Amino acid sequence: MAASITRATPFRPGRRTLPITRSPLFRQSSTQRQNWASRPFDVAKDNVAQLAASPRQPLTLADLLKHGRPPLNKEALLASANFTLSLLPARLASRIQALRNLPFIVVSNPHVSKIYNNYLHSLSTLLPYQQRRITTLEEEKQFGDVLADLVQTHTNTIPILARGFLECRKYVSPADVTSFLDTHLRARIGTRLIAEQHLALHYASQPVSDNPSDGADARAINSVPSNYIGVIDTALQPARIIRLCEDFVGEICELKYGVRPRVKIGGEPEASFAHIPVHLEYIITELLKNAFRASIENGNEREPIEVTIAAAPDVPGKVLPVQGDTDTGFEFDSEVNENEIIGYSAPSSQSITIRIRDRGGGIPPEVLPNIWSYSYTTFSDLDYQGSENGNLDALNTIAASGGHVSSIAGLGYGLPLSRAYAEYFGGSIAVQSLWGWGTDVYLTLRGVGRID
């Protein structure tokens, strides 16, 4: 019988774990104070617990837009850096605490241990910056380099965790795996989004001069699409993303099956709203992949995949916070130049719903209850063992598989992770399957209304 995830003695895996220090929270020598950004801090158990217990507030898309359109001036760029720094340490500490609470046998797995040490190292790298505000462009540049390294370090978190939990599936129940990963990966979405938002603003604002007289001319050389604010597209057209994903998934189908279904877009293909393109790309790719595979294997590849786009009207209301993120960071009361603030035409609950309909025969009744489980997959152990590069991300799994199992089936993370992306800012995914006929998937994403 599989063991349940219970609170266990904290485990500090591997030789890469940083040395333990004592309180106070951050110890500094005179040398460290002189070169406060030059080296990581040691992280003790009570450091992590204290940070993880920090008071936190929900994050909204509006929070990520509040520093203004790039290129930012010096004050807005420093405010963005300090805002980012105020959020990340508590989030990282919360994830470390959650990993420490896993059973010893799970955290001792080399793949889970690697993720643990990555989080620990990232936290230790950020702690020196949290001792003081970032007040100069040179400090902001150093922080940008650290942030870029942090993002790169955690790039493969999902496939590495997938491998670790797959190897530990004898010791942890599927329900507990889904519960842990659902919380962990939702928190990871927020952490990565916060870091990438500042990095995008940072790069789009270079070079920035300390001299106000030449700052405007220096920023003028940047060529940033006017509709982008960091990683957020304020005029995102779902129809354009759908066509890009159709081409990508179609190429995979041609490699595997030699055919590719076509997509027919109806409703309001010109609809647009403010959202994060990479999130929508992941979700649409996964949903189209499932629809294409089902249609082809059901012999209905000539039937088009019908995609309907419906935009809800702008309705005055409150900007909703994150729905599924329990690891948001505490708010930092940063000062921003009023001229750089994004203007809203009134807070709005604008949303866009996308229906994807296929004639793939529907989802078998015995499979339907498992589609939101991270531990459920149609991928075989042989396929997993043959993946030498460790990349278990469904988006990149295009190698041939044995038997009748499709190579684009992924490893069971596609749908639940898509739902996590959708729900992060108040959206949703609903699946309606008619067994023997086909499946309708309803994806709703909430934006932030019109942006002036």
Give the C-alpha separation, 364 to 353, whole Å.
25
Give the C-alpha separation, 52 to 47, whole Å.
9
Q: Which amino acid is at 379?
A: F
| Portions of the chain given CATH number 1.20.140.20 | 30-226
Query: What integer is the mean pLDDT of 134-144?
Result: 94
Q: How many helices (H) and strands (E) does the chain have?
A: 14, 8
What global pTM score does this model have? 0.77
pLDDT at 450: 60
pLDDT at 260: 95
User: Which strands sit side by side in the sheet containing 305-311, from one edge to the other?
Assistant: 263-267, 305-311, 351-358, 438-446, 428-434
Residue with the two structure tokens 């419906």:
310
Continuous H helices in 132-237: 137-153, 157-167, 174-204, 212-219
Lowest mean pLDDT among 147-151, 154-158, 330-334: 330-334
Neighbouring CB atoms inside 10 A of 150's CB total 22
Evaluate if residue 208 carries a pLDDT over 60: no
Q: Calculate helix-pair angle for 414-423, 174-204, nearest 10 degrees.
A: 50
Residues 6+ apart with CB under 8 A from 151: 192, 195, 196, 199
pLDDT at 8: 38
The tens digit of pLDDT for each residue in 363-372 reads: 999 999 889 9
Which residues of 200-276 form beta strands (DSSP E)?
228-229, 232-236, 263-267, 273-275
Give the C-alpha separation, 384 to 377, whole Å.
11
Can you give the length of the chain in residues? Answer: 452
| Portions of the chain given CATH number 3.30.565.10 | 229-446
pLDDT at 30: 35
Q: State the Cα angle at 313 between 308 and 317, rounded to 5°.
A: 130
Range 30-226 classified under CATH 1.10.1200.10: no
Neighbouring CB atoms inside 10 A of 342's CB total 17
pLDDT at 447: 87
Q: Which amino acid is at 33?
A: R
Query: What integer is the mean pLDDT of 60-85?
Result: 92
Q: In a 3-state reduction of DSSP, which class is residue 53? A: coil
Q: What is the mean pLDDT of the chain?
A: 76
Question: 335 with 75: CB under 8 angstroms?
Answer: yes
Query: What integer is the mean pLDDT of 73-79?
Result: 95
pLDDT at 449: 63
Q: In terms of pLDDT, which residue wins out, 408 or 223?
A: 223
Lowest mean pLDDT among 25-29, 215-219, 417-421: 25-29
Evaluate if residue 98 carries a pLDDT over 90: yes
Give the C-alpha separation, 237 to 255, whole Å.
28
Lowest mean pLDDT among 295-299, 324-328, 347-351, 406-410: 406-410
Question: 308 with 355: CB under 8 angstroms?
Answer: yes
Confidence class of residue 6 from pLDDT cuts 50, 70 and 90? very low
Q: Bridge partners of 433?
A: 439
Query: What integer is the mean pLDDT of 144-153?
Result: 94
Query: What integer is the mean pLDDT of 172-189?
Result: 89
Query: What integer is the mean pLDDT of 10-26?
Result: 33
Question: 106 with 172: CB under 8 angstroms?
Answer: yes
Evaluate if residue 162 carries a pLDDT over 70: yes
Evaluate if residue 403 carries a pLDDT over 60: no
Q: Calculate helix-pair angle for 110-126, 74-100, nearest 10 degrees.
A: 140
CA dihedral 119, 125, 131, 134 (to 10 degrees): -110
Q: In terms of pLDDT, which residue wins out, 116 or 216?
A: 116
Q: In terms of pLDDT, which residue wins out, 249 or 378?
A: 249
Lowest mean pLDDT among 77-81, 228-232, 325-329, 422-426: 325-329
Give the C-alpha separation, 431 to 356, whole Å.
10
pLDDT at 83: 94
Evaluate if residue 224 carries a pLDDT over 80: no
Tell the CATH topology of 229-446: Heat Shock Protein 90 (3.30.565)
Give the C-alpha separation, 418 to 279, whole Å.
8
Evaluate if residue 355 carries a pLDDT over 50: yes
Question: 129 with 37: CB under 8 angstroms?
Answer: yes
pLDDT at 448: 76
The tens digit of pLDDT for each residue in 287-321 reads: 999 999 999 999 999 999 999 999 987 655 444 44
Q: How far does the chain reach from its first CA to its final CA, in angstroms?
A: 58
Q: State the Cα angle at 340 between 335 and 345, rounded to 5°.
A: 110
Confidence class of residue 172 from pLDDT cuts 50, 70 and 90? confident
Residues 6+ apart with CB under 8 A from 240: none
Q: Bridge partners of 441?
A: 356, 431
